[in-house]
Structure 1
Amino acid sequence: MSFSQTMKAVADPVRREILTMLKEGRLTAGDIAAKVEGLSSATVSYHLSQLKQASLITEAKYKNFIYYELNASVFEEIMLWCAQFTQKEGNS
């Protein structure tokens, strides 16, 4: 995962919406497409691909479906990185 790729992925409002959906639990691409109005299945697949490349989501195959879910460890890494800017020098 590259930090710049991750930040680029979350910069897109559709991708942020998908991440918010996945916060509630794993979903298929079809489930996501049904919840995001005005987007084709191909567009949803593109956004899922971008999120996967940024390691923000993982996929797991079960029977004939692919389920997507959040990769919480990447969000923890981002939070730790951001936290360094809120701590003053000399504080533990």
Structure 2
Amino acid sequence: MQLCYIANMADTASDIFAALAHPTRRQILQDLKDGELAAGEIAARFSATGPTISRHLSVLRQAGLVAERREANRILYSLVGERLALSVGNFLSTVCPEQIVLREVRKRTTSRPSTSTSEA
């Protein structure tokens, strides 16, 4: 059971990093950080054809990095930022264990009330 979970996690990470590999897809994610955009609005920001942008959006959607919803005859896309943050964070924690320690140190220092003591 756990082995299956690890394999699925690896597949998910592979999908996400494959989606992030293309500069157009990274730009789409950056454009969506300010809010939902219609497919036509996204396509208008690029010199690529509509079908090419549609394929990029499909890759992002399959990786779970964007969500889509239909409104009348428009398809609206939004960023699923927490999925990106968690996946990249998990990867970094795996390959850079010191990041875990740094995160814990930051948690402790921000959760403690600051007290200033002066020693003479």
How far has the Cα of 1:83 moved from its partner? 4.8
Distance in 1, matches of 2:82 and 2:31, equals 17
Distance in 2, matches of 1:54 and 1:83, equals 18
Q: TM-score if structure 2 supplies the norm length?
A: 0.67
- The correspondence of residues 7-18 of structure 1 with structure 2, limited to 5 A, is 7-18=17-28
Distance in 1, matches of 2:48 and 2:71, equals 25
Matched, 1:33 2:30: no
Match of 1:70 in 2: 79
Gap regions ≥5 residues in structure 1: none
Q: TM-score if structure 1 supplies the norm length?
A: 0.86
Matched, 1:87 2:96: no
How far has the Cα of 1:75 moved from its partner? 1.8
Q: Greater RCO between the two (CA within 8 Å, min separation 6)?
A: 1
Gap regions ≥5 residues in structure 2: 1-10, 106-120
How far has the Cα of 1:24 moved from its partner? 1.1
Match of 2:70 in 1: 61
Distance in 2, matches of 1:46 and 1:64, equals 19
Higher relative helix content: 2
Corresponding pairs, count: 89
Moved over 4 A (4+): none
Match of 2:59 in 1: 50
Classify the secondary structure of the residue corresponding to 1:39: coil
Q: Would you say the 8 A contact 2:36–2:78 is kept in 1?
A: yes
Distance in 2, matches of 1:23 and 1:2, equals 21
